Amino acid sequence: MSRYFLEVSYKGSRYAGFQIQDNANTIQAEVEKALKVYFRSAISLTGSSRTDAGVHAAQNYFHFDFTEKEATAISASVYHLNAI
């Protein structure tokens, strides 16, 4: 199993904060959706912090553990995840 770290920046104006909520759109939910599209498997993120609704982040970190076949080209993965 490998652990991957993601550094992200975002404008949080349209989001109800970082952490997943049942009744609102959040940054964590959007990033998990992108990972699911790319890896074709549900991936649960662990964040280093949380933000309130409408807060922007210049630098925020997540990590996830991935047990399936490793991505062969990390730079290609970053490009594709950013596109999603």
- Report pTM: 0.80
Tell me the helix, strand and coil percentages in the chain, rounded to 5: 25, 25, 45
Q: Which residues does 82 contact at the CB level (< 8 Å), separation at least 6?
A: none
pLDDT in tens, 28-70: 999 899 888 888 888 899 888 777 787 888 888 889 887 765 5
What domains are defined for the chain?
2-83 (3.30.70.580)
Is 52 an active-site residue? yes
8-state DSSP, 82: H
Q: Which of 52, 65, 68, 70 is catalytic?
A: 52
